[in-house]
Amino acid sequence: MPALKNLTLKPGKKSAEPNYVLVIHGGAGTMIRDGSTPEQRAKYRAVLSRALKAGYEVLKSGGEAMDAAVEAVSVMEDCPLFNSGHGAVFNVAGKNELETSLMVSKPPASHPAMPSSRRGSSVTLITHTRNPSHLARALYLAPQLAPHPMVSGAAAEATGALLGVRQVDPSYFWTEARWKEHRRGLGLPEDPVEYPRPEIPDDTNSETTDVASLSDDKDKETWEPLDLMPTGTVGAVALDIRGCIAAVTSTGGFTNKLVGRVGDTPVMGSGFWAEEWERSGGFVKRNWDRLRGKSKYEGVGVSGTGNGDYYIRRAAASNIARRMQYLGESLDEATQNVIDDLFKEGGLGGVIALDREGNVALPLNCGGMYRGVIRPDGVPLTAIFFDEQLTEL
């Protein structure tokens, strides 16, 4: 299937109003329209809207892009519909190994002492952290404890625990739908369900999204995911009123991945990126840009979703920034070209991206991508399939 023509969403007319925006995705790839029901699709869009509103409240109050992106991602991590946190897929050994990342285009205003060279943090092989995105944020803000841009495993989670990041028993991540996908993918019978449900109610309290509550059928306890054998992630990119861009991504990887596999989500430049740079050009161009009200700086934030192995090989996320900076491509052109290149090599997926002016791009080259955008008007716009326009639920 050819890549979908990128439809860049531009901000409203220039005004004195603060310019902030949040764009999210809940994974891309194998969702199929045929056989899905309106109720099923509405559940996904309801959670996307909830995530957008959570991040919007942070931006509306003048908060940091980083915090808005984490808030949005946390909502999806708490929902079993998405391949992250509580809905994460299983590896080949029947275990959950999660990954997450955070990156900012410049240090957040709330932490002015943060070195300008420290722009992100990522973690892989997570097995106990309830909300991986919280761990990425905590480690980023603790350079003395976690000076590296990427860490992994038990030591990283222990550091997170010292910083107050909530830990849970690994059984918290179990869901029946993902467990059956795991067994089905290995050619094993789906029943009996052998992996134990969590027995500690504290780990599955009201903070976790009850999928049945999203439906009119309140007595329906079971649910079926729209995406089959997912390879996607969840992610958010936010622009705050100070011009800072933050990208946050979280995933369970792909179903029946090898034990210890590291995907693109924690690999800086592959599955995520955020950066700003000074506009190039001589005296005339700089003055022309100033007369047009353009900032001295350009910037971009990216979160990818799909088959991460291809994103790693292409350094997909940072490639978008380089195309904008050195080739003079627009956000629309750069994201579309990268998605097209991935498709040519067999890499299916999509990206969400925004620039410093508030333009948003959501290109994909597969059947669909759970996605949404919210601007200062506070209206959450969402879509699922490749040929859908963003609309209000």
CB 372 within 8 A of CB 234: no
CB 3 within 8 A of CB 335: no
Considering just the CA atoms, what is the radius of gyration of the chain in Å?
Answer: 20
- Distance (Å, rounded) from C-alpha 214 to C-alpha 217? 9
User: What is the edge-to-edge ordering of all strands in the sheet holding 98-104?
Assistant: 150-152, 120-126, 98-104, 245-251, 234-239, 21-28, 368-374, 381-385, 391-392
Q: Which residues are catalytic?
A: 233
CB 362 within 8 A of CB 301: no
Bridge partners for 31 per DSSP: 227
- For the chain, how are helix, strand and coil distributed in percent, rounded to 5? 30, 20, 50
- Distance (Å, rounded) from C-alpha 25 to C-alpha 383? 10
Q: Find the helix packing angle between 132-140 and 65-77, rounded to 10°.
A: 160
- Distance (Å, rounded) from C-alpha 66 to C-alpha 83? 21
- Distance (Å, rounded) from C-alpha 27 to C-alpha 349? 8
Does residue 368 sit in helix, strand or coil? strand
